[in-house]
Amino acid sequence: MPKGYWVSVYRTISDPEKLAAYNELARPAVQAGGGRTFVRGGRVVAHDAGLAERVVLIEFDSFEQAVAAHESAAYQEALVVLSDGVERDFRIVEGID
């Protein structure tokens, strides 16, 4: 079964305090949903239309598990805290088997 991934690329971080509060809530929500963080920040080299900003990559055992974790009450609470503190491109994608 193909794995599922959350891929999040931050365009701007306008409120670092909101991002920090989001991280405090999102981390346990992701772990409870079975997610494993592989990339969180760090160095970035961007090409083409990419932005050299914060990138987060989280792996789940399946695409369905990744979607369910995003829809969980705990993660939705984290999103409320984050609100307009960042602008990001967030996707849930299916890996290849």
> Is it the case that residue 58 has pLDDT exceeding 90?
yes
Q: pLDDT per residue over 18-30, tens digit each?
A: 999 999 999 999 9
Please state the pTM of the whole predicted model: 0.92
Q: For residue 37, which of 25, 24, 55, 50 has the smallest C-alpha distance?
A: 55
